[in-house]
Chain A
Amino acid sequence: MLTALLLIAFAFLVHRRFLSGYAPPPPGLAVLHRGEATFIDAAAEVLFPGGGSLPVAGIEAQLPHYVDRHLAALPRAQRFQIRALLLLFEHGTLLFPGDEPGGRRRFSSLSAAARVSILARLSKHPNRHARLVFMALRAVLTLGYLGHPGNLCALGVAPFEIQPGVSDAELLFPRIGGLVSSIRYEPEDRTDPALLGPLDPHGPRHRAYARAHPGRR
């Protein structure tokens, strides 16, 4: 009886800590659950604050959607590693609390100042593994944040608008998933990039990037 009660109490605590109290996830996520999406936004807010030199702030960059796309495309083992990293950060406050009252709450429930202090501590931690964990999280989120079309365009480093070439590969192979019979190119469609010459360093950027504006992906 006592064991059953203890188990129920334990299950309740686990549920409260790990699952309950999260806002509903943004629509369109395939892999991430609501807790992970909430954590990502909470981390992005302090890793990439707004009002700086880039037009899109971390919280506006729709990072949960980016990370979701990334995870969905990864093999299971790598997906597991990244999800474990998110979990570690969100609940690592149990062992390494934020320096404010209630600092053992989930990372995403802490004030921005407390989140900043946790990241600052980890980023300068004497233990190399702690620093590596911080760098891993920063890397996962930087890929989506800096890769946001609005930010890349603002920095002038978005991919160029380029006339897609037609080579023997386009003549011989269909698009991935298609049949060879679906190939529409003929030998006269072949292009010669040498005739087009070098790109203009300040030339137009790929459409999908150029029309980007803050918050859009």
Chain B
Amino acid sequence: MPSDPGPDAASEDWLVAARERVRVFAQYEGAFREEADVVVVGSGPCGAVAAYELAAAGHDVILLEEGPPFTVRDFELDGNLSMTRTMREGGLRMTRGTVMPTMQAIALGGGSLVNSAICVRPPDAVFDRWATGFDLERTNRAELDPHFDAIATFLGIAPTPDEVQGRRNLLFRDACNALGVSSEPIERSVRGCRGSGECFTGCRSRAKQSMDVSYVPAALRAGARVFTSVQVQQVHSIGRRVTGVSGQVVAPFSRGSRRGRSHHFRIDARAIVLAAGCTATPVLLKQSGDLANASGQVGENLQFHPGLAIAGIFPEPVDPQFGATQGYQSLAFLEEGFKLETLWAPPPLLSMRFPGFGEELLSHFAEIPQMAVWDAIVSANRSLGRVRARWRSLDPVLHWAIHPEDVAILRRSLKVIAELFFAAGARKILPGVQGIAEVMTSLDQARILDSDAVRPENLVLGGNHVFCTTRMHGDPTRGVVDEDGRCHDLENLYIADTGIFPQCPSVNPMLTGMALARRQARLLGQRL
């Protein structure tokens, strides 16, 4: 088995050969057909790791990605316009039921291009719950730690250094210290962060080790072929075996329109790894004749980490544009069901929830230089939903409803964030909850946040961590894939994205997804 190369491990001869293995939109001149040992669909964190591992083990791999590769000069600085380029449905995807925005990237590197690179290992308790609830024997920290370690070494995962925290992150640390709450600098897959606070629109410094600068080049170096701007529309099968995938070339930014689709392609392969993402893979399976769904679980069990945020206004300038996008966290409340983090994003996106209009709204805008934003993500294991296919489209319809017990956790997290802000010396907070005071200036006033006065429909939620739609289960009648990520119903179809999580992981999911993908790819590599 290969060892993970550091980014500077190889000589540079690989570059010419690797460029020949890349295909971008401008290169496609007609329909094409290819063969490979393994085809991996989706180049997000999970697919990129799987493609690298399989290529490094000597297999002929084709990695397919619907989005284009972004170079630094393709990044758009305006956060809103950036979302229209990097996110599916222009970044305006919403769940139905409990209405909540949820985003999925469409780019080489998937979510890693636009995420904050937070890498956290779930605690033992999470894996214990998975083992007992889902008949799993080998999905635990002891088994996964070597995979976590290898990925951490490869991506340079390390705690965010103080020099690039910026004041808005350090205020969180001070607040936690003041209240005796444990906190720590966030571990991120970043080398040489400069504190530009712009992870969300793409790291212009190329410090962030998104997949397009890390695992995808490593896969190319190891011999994989990478085809971008190709949309897989069907997985083909005969009996209990899949035979290949087919689809069409899509123009960058063609936004799902039929006019953007052109040449057809087909790739035949001995094994297929679906890593199209938790909301895309089930749709692909359904559009392929309800594949791998003897259990009836494809598209079911949809879970999120619903998140909410509070803006705190301090008496003095915080210079919030400077600092790691998300630099500090507290895991102190994980057992209660939530994790706390600091957060930054382009200010127009952060301030969409500010109250009022006219002079009142402008006065809130004027305080942005004194603002910090802290958020909570909640382990909403009881809040379930499902993914359905839209007619003649690969865009999913997401139904999801927040459970009353999870609302209680959200309320509690709001109150804790408020306590932290006032402990740090905030002058006031903007809780962003409708139906109660829009601005709070004391802890006394903030107590209402942990009460029934906070109606679930008045919470402004966001959910970018998505799980469980093709869940892993030891029992083939209750899950879609086994512990190795192989579909119970098909001998050579694997799923490697966050859809295979049996439950939400309570912490940011990227690293767990990558570790599971690494383990799975190594097993698949041995079976081929």
Q: Considering the chains assembled together, what is the distance between the CA atoms of A86 and B457 in angstroms?
A: 24
Taking residues whose C-beta sits less than 8 angstroms from the other chain, chain A's interface range is 35 or more
For the complex, is A27 an interface residue (Cβ under 8 Å from B)?
no
Q: How far is the CB of B268 from chain A (nearest CB, A)?
A: 25
For the complex, is B12 an interface residue (Cβ under 8 Å from A)?
yes
Q: Considering the chains assembled together, what is the distance between the CA atoms of A123 and B80 in angstroms?
A: 23
> Which A-B residue pairs are the 10 nearest by beta carbons?
A165-B206, A194-B192, A193-B192, A201-B322, A173-B69, A73-B84, A53-B366, A168-B217, A75-B255, A167-B206
Q: How far is the CB of B190 from chain A (nearest CB, A)?
A: 9
Which A residues touch B253, using CB under 8 A?
Answer: 73, 176
Q: How far is the CB of B240 from chain A (nearest CB, A)?
A: 37
Q: Interface code A148-181, partner B: CB below 8 Å = 1, 0 otherwise? A: 0001100111111011111111111111111110
Which A residues touch B201, using CB under 8 A?
Answer: 159
A192 touches B24 (CB 8 A): no
Stretch at the interface among A8-16, A28-36, A43-51, A91-99: A43-51
Stretch at the interface among B135-143, B180-188, B342-350, B485-493: B342-350
For the complex, is B78 an interface residue (Cβ under 8 Å from A)?
yes
A193 touches B89 (CB 8 A): no
For the complex, is B384 an interface residue (Cβ under 8 Å from A)?
no
A-B contact count (CB 8 A): 238
28 inter-chain pairs at a CB distance below 8 angstroms, sorted by A residue, are: A46-B357, A48-B358, A52-B363, A53-B365, A77-B89, A143-B79, A147-B346, A147-B348, A151-B365, A158-B321, A162-B204, A164-B72, A165-B72, A168-B213, A168-B214, A169-B206, A170-B72, A173-B212, A174-B26, A174-B71, A176-B68, A176-B70, A176-B74, A176-B252, A180-B19, A201-B166, A201-B195, A209-B77
For the complex, is B163 an interface residue (Cβ under 8 Å from A)?
yes
Out of A147, A157, A177, A208, which one reaches B321, CB within 8 Å?
A157
Out of A49, A75, A162, which one reaches B257, CB within 8 Å?
A75
For the complex, is A197 an interface residue (Cβ under 8 Å from B)?
yes
B78 touches A179 (CB 8 A): no
For the complex, is A70 an interface residue (Cβ under 8 Å from B)?
yes
| Residues in B49-94 with C-beta less than 8 Å from chain A | 68-74, 77-81, 84-85, 89-90, 92
B24 touches A173 (CB 8 A): yes
Which A residues touch B84, using CB under 8 A?
Answer: 70, 73-74
A156 touches B319 (CB 8 A): yes
Which A residues touch B77, using CB under 8 A?
Answer: 159, 206, 208-209
Q: Interface code B296-326, partner A: CB below 8 Å = 1, 0 otherwise? A: 0000000000000000000001011111000
B194 touches A178 (CB 8 A): no
Q: Interface code A116-146, partner B: CB below 8 Å = 1, 0 otherwise? A: 1001100100001001000100110011111
Knowing A157-B320, A159-B196, A172-B22 are in contact, say whether A70-B80 is a contact too (CB < 8 A).
yes
A157 touches B347 (CB 8 A): yes
For the complex, is B463 an interface residue (Cβ under 8 Å from A)?
no
Q: How far is the CB of A212 from chain B (nearest CB, A)?
A: 12
In the complex, residue of chain B having the shortest beta-carbon distance to the beta carbon of A82: B92
For the complex, is B426 an interface residue (Cβ under 8 Å from A)?
no
Out of A128, A142, A175, which one reaches B458, CB within 8 Å?
A128
Q: How far is the CB of B166 from chain A (nearest CB, A)?
A: 7
Q: Considering the chains assembled together, what is the distance between the CA atoms of A35 and B442 in angstroms?
A: 45
B193 touches A193 (CB 8 A): yes
Knowing A172-B217, A180-B22, A187-B15 are in contact, say whether A128-B358 is a contact too (CB < 8 A).
no
B194 touches A197 (CB 8 A): yes
Binding site for B on A (CB under 8 A): 46-49, 52-54, 69-70, 73-78, 81, 116, 119-120, 123, 128, 131, 135, 138-139, 142-147, 151-152, 155-160, 162-180, 183, 187, 191-202, 206, 208-209
For the complex, is B146 an interface residue (Cβ under 8 Å from A)?
no
Which A residues touch B433, using CB under 8 A?
Answer: none
Q: How far is the CB of A72 from chain B (nearest CB, A)?
A: 9
A155 touches B205 (CB 8 A): no
For the complex, is B203 an interface residue (Cβ under 8 Å from A)?
yes
Q: Interface code B157-176, partner A: CB below 8 Å = 1, 0 otherwise? A: 00000011011000000000
A128 touches B348 (CB 8 A): no
Taking residues whose C-beta sits less than 8 angstroms from the other chain, chain B's interface range is 35 or more
Q: How far is the CB of B194 from chain A (nearest CB, A)?
A: 5
A119 touches B357 (CB 8 A): yes
Out of B204, B214, B357, which one reaches A165, CB within 8 Å?
B204
For the complex, is B510 an interface residue (Cβ under 8 Å from A)?
no
For the complex, is B441 an interface residue (Cβ under 8 Å from A)?
no
Which B residues touch A178, using CB under 8 A?
Answer: 24, 26
B457 touches A128 (CB 8 A): yes
Q: Considering the chains assembled together, what is the distance between the CA atoms of A84 and B365 in angstroms?
A: 27
Q: How far is the CB of A7 from chain B (nearest CB, A)?
A: 34
For the complex, is B444 an interface residue (Cβ under 8 Å from A)?
no
In the complex, residue of chain A having the shortest beta-carbon distance to the beta carbon of B435: A128
Which A residues touch B12, using CB under 8 A?
Answer: 187
B348 touches A143 (CB 8 A): yes
In the complex, residue of chain A having the shortest beta-carbon distance to the beta carbon of B78: A147
Q: Considering the chains assembled together, what is the distance between the CA atoms of A201 and B369 in angstroms?
A: 12
Knowing A180-B24, A194-B191 are in contact, say whether A54-B206 is a contact too (CB < 8 A).
no
A169 touches B194 (CB 8 A): no
Q: Considering the chains assembled together, what is the distance between the CA atoms of A131 and B434 in angstroms?
A: 9
Q: How far is the CB of A141 from chain B (nearest CB, A)?
A: 10
Out of B19, B92, B213, which one reaches A169, CB within 8 Å?
B213
A198 touches B195 (CB 8 A): yes
A160 touches B347 (CB 8 A): no
Q: Considering the chains assembled together, what is the distance between the CA atoms of A47 and B356 in angstroms?
A: 9
Q: Considering the chains assembled together, what is the distance between the CA atoms of A168 and B81 in angstroms?
A: 25
Out of A52, A139, A169, A174, which one reaches B362, CB within 8 Å?
A52
Q: Considering the chains assembled together, what is the distance between the CA atoms of A53 and B363 in angstroms?
A: 7
B357 touches A123 (CB 8 A): yes
B206 touches A193 (CB 8 A): yes
A73 touches B81 (CB 8 A): yes
Contacts A171-B217, A176-B71, A178-B26 aside, 6 further interface pairs with beta carbons under 8 A come to A53-B366, A135-B352, A162-B194, A170-B71, A173-B212, A199-B194
In the complex, residue of chain B having the shortest beta-carbon distance to the beta carbon of A137: B357
B26 touches A179 (CB 8 A): yes
B352 touches A139 (CB 8 A): yes
For the complex, is B351 an interface residue (Cβ under 8 Å from A)?
yes
B74 touches A193 (CB 8 A): no
Which A residues touch B71, using CB under 8 A?
Answer: 169-170, 173-176
Knowing A46-B357, A155-B369 are in contact, say whether A172-B89 is a contact too (CB < 8 A).
no
